[in-house]
Every structure is written in structure tokens, then in C-alpha cells.
Structure 1
Amino acid sequence: MKPYYGSNTIIEQIDLSRCKPYKDFRQGFYLAEIREQVEQMVNIIF
């Protein structure tokens, strides 16, 4: 599995304290297996 993360910044270390606690799936660092899915989310967010 090659995980993808949708962000416009480089993540060197996961810091859960920077995650928003009241999003859809609660506070966490989420990855996806499908690159196109991540690209679509990045286009919506950024």
C-alpha cells in the first residue's frame, strides 16, 4: 500500500495536537490509498 495525504505542505512529523477535533472522523491523521481521491480533496480544500 502506498498511502497519500492531501496537503499543500510537507509533513515531516505527525502532530495530532494540530488536528481539528470536531471534523467528520474526529481528531486524527488520515491517509488514502487512492491518489485521485486525495487530489480531488486537495482541490476542494485549497
Structure 2
Amino acid sequence: MVNRYFKLLEFLDPEDDDILHLLPSPACNKRLRSLLAELRDIESVAKAL
């Protein structure tokens, strides 16, 4: 779900007031990206086992 969010994020206008309050903050996006990277590492290790 987070992966899909980041794929769609590039198509969302951050200047649109109608959706601005629905989007996470840029700091939250940065944290989500790092967590997604960690999750990918865990998935690859699990597949290797």
C-alpha cells in the first residue's frame, strides 16, 4: 500500500487545497520512504531463507 502511495504521489498536486489536508507532511513522506526501504530489505532476506 505504501509502495502504491509513492507511485501515485508524483501525480498529486501538493498545491491543491482540497487534498492538502489529506496528504502526509514531507517529513512523514521521508520517514515512510525509509521504512519502505527497510521493509524491502526484510522481504528479500525472508525470500533468501
Query: TM-score, normalized by length of structure 1?
Result: 0.31
Q: Work out which of the two has the higher radius of gyration on C-alpha atoms and give 1 or 2.
A: 2
Which structure has more helix as a fraction of its residues?
2
Query: TM-score, normalized by length of structure 2?
Result: 0.29
